[in-house]
Amino acid sequence: MQGFICVFGVLELPVFVTLRPGFWPFSPMRTRRPAAEQLPADELCRSRLENQIDVRHPLVQLSHRLPWSALEQALSPRLPATTGAGGPPALPVRLIAGLLYLKHAYDLSDEAVCERWLENPYWQFFTGEVVFQTCVPCDPSSLTRWRQRLGEAGMEALLAHTINTAHAMKAVDARELSRVIVDTTMQEKAIAHPTDSRLLEVARKKLVLLAKRHGIALRQSDARQGPALRRKAGRYAHAQGAATPTHDPGTRMTRSATQAGPAETVGA
């Protein structure tokens, strides 16, 4: 049996409880914060965040507009009640949803969003904290597991509630939601430069295929001469220093063969 002193007002009563090995309810190493109505006694005397921050801050205004109760109902079935068999309670849904929103809104990594959350009282208030916290909300690696548990449907629900809130706040117009613009990153790809000689060679091959498909017998398909003329045009372009040769003999002969190909048929 082990005991500790509980303080109720000015009355100190010794209370004896049985503690599990390795368990201490007021361990400073905890990273998860309880709900507002379950704050420890030492935090009840601390000043609340809402009395220290500017209530006109955009994140404060957004935290009052977001339907947190609806988000909890939509995401709770996808999130476990505990972290494991016999483990501590899982993180609050508002904390998880808030961290994911802040991560994408400010384009941060999992580690960076946890570090900035520890320093920013507005971020802590947005995720449901009542008093300023001095420990990280969770391990950064756990955010990956939370995203996997939410899945695509859970992230879509979070996005839908965010868009509905923005529409209710008149931050976006309904006409702006009729068209989605996706921001993509340009990457290098092995695409050949569209030179005249190459385009003409591709056109010659297409014409030959069309002729075969429709049963048209060509006198000559230039299957050997076409690639040779293309290489010849490339050498002329390199010698002359022109990016797109249009007057070299190779390109001129390839263009003539392409234009005259369909007419020079047998039995046409």
Q: Are residues 203 and 95 part of one domain? A: no
Dihedrals φ, ψ of 40, to 5°?
-60, 165
The total number of structural domains in the chain stands at: 2
Domain assignment present for 27: no
User: pLDDT tens digit string along 207-229?
Assistant: 999 999 999 988 888 888 888 88
- Asked if the structure places residue 141 within a domain, the reply is yes
In the block, which residue shows the tokens 């030492």? 42
> What burial class does residue 120 get, using C-beta atoms within 10 Å of its C-beta: 0-12 exposed, 13-18 middle, 19+ buried?
middle
Task: Assess whether 67 and 163 both reside in one domain.
Answer: yes
Q: Is 11 within the bounds of a domain?
A: no
Question: Which token pair is 170?
Answer: 């008149």
Identify the CA nearest to 110 among candidates 153, 78, 139, 75.
139
Calculated CA dihedral for residues 120, 122, 126, 128, nearest 10 degrees = 70
Q: What are phi and psi of 265, to 5 degrees?
A: -120, 160
> What is the structure's pLDDT at 10?
36
| Both structure tokens of 9 | 């007002």
pLDDT of amino acid 59? 92
Say if residue 24 is exposed, middle or buried (CB neighbours under 10 Å; 0-12, 13-18, 19+): exposed
pTM of the predicted structure, to 2 decimals: 0.52
- The answer on pLDDT for 9 being more than 50 is no
What is the domain extent for residue 158? 47-177
Of the pLDDT bands very low, low, confident and very high (cuts 50, 70, 90), residue 118 is very high
Overall average pLDDT of the 111-128 stretch: 94
